Structure 1
Amino acid sequence: MTFVELSPGVEAALVTSYGTALRVMRDPSVFAKDPRRWRALTEGRIPHDSPVLPLMAYRPTCMFSDGDEHRRLRAAVDDSLGRVDPAWLRGLIANTADTLIDGFSRNGTADLLSGYASPLVFGVISGMFGCPAPLATRLLRALTEIFNAGDHAEQANEDAAQCFGELIALKRNRPGNDLTSWMIEHPAELSDLELVHQIAILYGASTEPGSNLIANSLRLLLVDSRFSGSLSGGTLQIGDAVDEVLWKDPPMANFCVHYPVHDVLLDGVWLRAGDPVVISLAASNTDPALLTHDRTGNRAHLSWGAGLHSCPAQQEARLIAEIAIERLLDRLPDLSLAVPVDTLTWRPGPFHRSLQALPVVFPPEAVARNTVSAPHAEHPR
């Protein structure tokens, strides 16, 4: 464990051990999630415009709550996700992928992050929430700025909240078969404020990490000799690449913030109650103390979190990534990086592991694709 500054004036303990990370995430009696325990924030020592606040400050959501409040809010999320039809979702992902590939397949070049991974994940998530395109476009700009944790994060946070409020109002007036409508009608009876923040967390936790997972996996497939020899090798190979990225290059390198409920000794260091503890998912996954280095097929990584607050949409996130990669490599099997791999750069930020861009070249696709089975215009009842 080490102590870090997440942004100017924001200090935290950073857990880098796999075993310690599990202890923190699995013991809510000692390590709580509610940021209202954050001592420096409650004492006014965190700048109000700190760029990490949009991702760390309290919101009435299952991510930032404990006990009965967490159980009620998490039930609304789990039950709504449980209503998503897997066949419908597969069709939505495949058709979103093909539409994007159609847009650049004749060019012979593309940025697979800004031109494919990011709009694909955002389009699929927007479809799941029933969010219309003009509203989704505004949301994408705001959420990207929030994850960058830059100078405009505070304004972006306000812009995103406005968009989510509009989406909820739309679905209250015209409910559909989508996550937004299902959460509105859930027996947990979420308030408008809870709905805004819960949908915001689900959007944010799906889009930025989801696009990073696709881009980081594509980078591995393109440059690692174990994969790059036969890019059209199929789903098993793609699944192995996704697993390896989740172990060694996770889309969220550092997150899962917790707050000790009392002073506690952790890894030989005393932590004070209310001081933030951040899990380095990347470091914990590569802890030298882990007994095996061959993790093919092993999914015991911490990239989805662990314990009561583990990611509720793991299956959906993985499905989006694997189908997105499979469709791309089926359509454009001769992809290669347009620049040397060591010139690829990573976006700055304390939490995410995201490339600035993933430029590729390929022989232009000469013929139109065969149309795959289109998803239902609306989620099936």
Structure 2
Amino acid sequence: MYGQEFAADPAATYRALRSHGPIAPVELAPGVPANLIVSYDAALDVLRNPSTFPRDPRRWQATMPADCPVLPMMMYRPNCLFTDGPVHARYRSVVTDSLARVDQNALRENVERTAERLIRSFGKEGQVDLLAEYALMVPLQMFQYLYGCPPELGERLVAGMIGIFDMIEPEKANEQLTQSMIELITLKRASPGQDMPSWMMAHPANLTDEELIHQLVLLMGAGTEPEKNLIANGVRLLLADERFAGDLSGGSMPVEEALDEVLWTDPPMANYSATYPVQDMDFAGVRLPADTPLVLSFAAANTDPALTTGQRSGNRAHLAWSAGVHTCPAQQHARLIASVAIEKLLDTLPDMRLSVPVDQLTWRPGPFHRALTALPVRFTPVAVPVPLDESPGGSRWNVPRSQSQSTHPDTTSTPREPSSPSSGKRRWLSSLARWWRGR
């Protein structure tokens, strides 16, 4: 599941794996065995029974070499994804309560403004790689805004996360992600604002800095790389599939239908959410060894031939957002950002078309995501006007957090008196960085 052959045609791999039954043996990376769930019913059973299928990977992790390329994606972190029971409930409450403070209507407005600025930057060229210049930049700027994150720091955080997804120098990518997140937490401790990190700091669950960082990394991982893929895969489908290509300027319905289709057939996180049986067990007619990753293939489960309906438009029973207690808490935000970004793109560039045949587009290798390497398009050059309230070189992303238009002006954590760095603080940062890297 890690080579270019799998990336080019994962559906063929899933078809072959189904010959083993609902669960099949795979390699996530060379020498890293796992079992992959390719059945919709079996996936639901696992997701709905967290006590039988726990998420804690530490016993498996202890058997892996430090340079295992999938370790940064699968290693234990104290966050919602890798915990169960009361610990999971505590972490999740911080995430869901903070997400609930985001104003959905104002978030839509901010996505629209961001989309307009990005299209303005390349609209006169008549061509662009939408993946790099648009699909990546929309969630990056949403993330920077909701986290109150300086752009340069946000770019480093996302670069680190992409390196982990791609398994390219994963240790280096993990270190970059670690150090950048520590910088963000230090910044927010010194100067809290109307943003997700500050709200999470002020939550009654009283997360430690260590716990806070891990919830933020989880949200960032789910909110940037997969969101980029959702936008890009949605645009690809709209431009290449004749079922959608005839009505691109007809409103939001084709976009919503395309997103439904993508979430069923090409979910941006195709294989993930591993569980680890604590003892040898029989499940779905398969003997599962203890501590061997049991990975959920959302893509394979969604396309399981055993499903009785082929209706996907308006059908939200797919597993792209997971299910059960680990259902994605930000799915409404993610879908809103993707749909508005795509709608604005198609409204502004109605004659947009792929620059190459769809079968010449290439996919990035890796066991976890469904991600294009590029999405080149052409269109009639356009000049997008600058709004009167948006000064040259500036944007609402630059305003002080107290002037935020996309979040409720609720009270956040009490600002702390700034203090000069101490040797104790530096030791804490170094200790956390070493712990994060498993040292």
TM interval, short-chain normalised: over 0.9
Distance 1:366 1:73 in 2: 46
Deviates more, 1:213-222 or 1:120-129: 120-129
Query: How far off its partner does 1:367 sit?
Result: 5.3
Q: Name the counterpart of 2:90.
A: 72
AA at the equivalent of 2:271: N
Distance 1:85 1:315 in 2: 12
Query: How far off its partner does 1:184 sit?
Result: 0.7
| 1:64 counterpart SS class | coil
Q: Name the counterpart of 1:310.
A: 327
TM-score by length of 2: 0.83
Query: How far off its partner does 1:366 sit?
Result: 4.0
Contact 1:9–1:47 (Cα < 8 Å) also in 2: no
| 2:224 counterpart SS class | helix
Q: Name the counterpart of 2:375.
A: 358
Higher Cα radius of gyration: 2
Q: Name the counterpart of 2:268.
A: 251
Deviates more, 1:216-225 or 1:231-240: 231-240
TM-score by length of 1: 0.96
Q: Name the counterpart of 2:284.
A: 267
Distance 1:380 1:59 in 2: 30
The total of aligned residue pairs comes to: 376
Deviations 1:16-73 (A, max 9, x none): 00000001111012100111242xx32x3x1211111111000010111111110111
| 1:235 partnered with 2:257 | no
Deviates more, 1:26-35 or 1:14-23: 26-35
Query: How far off its partner does 1:369 sit?
Result: 5.9
- Call closer, same or farther: CA 1:50–1:169 in 2, change over 3 Å: same
- Call closer, same or farther: CA 1:367–1:36 in 2, change over 3 Å: closer
- Call closer, same or farther: CA 1:290–1:205 in 2, change over 3 Å: same
Query: How far off its partner does 1:263 sit?
Result: 2.1
Distance 1:275 1:380 in 2: 44
1:5 to 22, 27, 49: 27
Query: How far off its partner does 1:137 sit?
Result: 1.7
Query: How far off its partner does 1:87 sit?
Result: 2.0
2:184 to 153, 167, 178: 167
Task: Name structure 1 gaps, 5 residues minimum.
Answer: none
2:73 to 51, 55, 60: 55
| 1:121 partnered with 2:163 | no
Distance 1:120 1:210 in 2: 9
| 1:17 partnered with 2:39 | yes
| 1:288 partnered with 2:305 | yes
- Call closer, same or farther: CA 1:76–1:93 in 2, change over 3 Å: same
Contact 1:337–1:358 (Cα < 8 Å) also in 2: yes
Query: How far off its partner does 1:294 sit?
Result: 1.8
Contact 2:120–2:383 (Cα < 8 Å) also in 1: no
- Call closer, same or farther: CA 1:21–1:372 in 2, change over 3 Å: farther
Query: How far off its partner does 1:262 sit?
Result: 2.7
| 1:27 partnered with 2:27 | no
AA at the equivalent of 1:101: I
| 1:245 counterpart SS class | helix
Return structure 1 stretches of 4+ with deviation > 3 angstroms.
369-377
2:154 to 122, 132, 136: 136
AA at the equivalent of 2:159: R
| 2:377 counterpart SS class | strand
Contact 2:26–2:35 (Cα < 8 Å) also in 1: yes
Fraction of identical pairs, as percent:
54
Distance 2:389 2:299 in 1: 37
Contact 2:120–2:384 (Cα < 8 Å) also in 1: no
Distance 2:351 2:59 in 1: 52
| 1:31 counterpart SS class | coil
Deviations 1:152-205 (A, max 9, x none): 111111111111111111111111111010011111111111111111111011
- Call closer, same or farther: CA 1:294–1:369 in 2, change over 3 Å: farther
AA at the equivalent of 1:51: P
Distance 2:383 2:256 in 1: 29
Deviations 1:229-250 (A, max 9, x none): 1211211111010000000111
Q: Name the counterpart of 1:194.
A: 211
When the two chains are superposed, the root-mean-square deviation of aligned CA atoms in Å is: 1.5
Query: How far off its partner does 1:363 sit?
Result: 0.3
Deviates more, 1:165-174 or 1:17-26: 165-174
Task: Name structure 2 gaps, 5 residues minimum.
Answer: 1-22, 410-439
| 1:62 counterpart SS class | coil
Distance 2:387 2:150 in 1: 27
| 1:108 partnered with 2:126 | yes
| 1:85 partnered with 2:107 | no
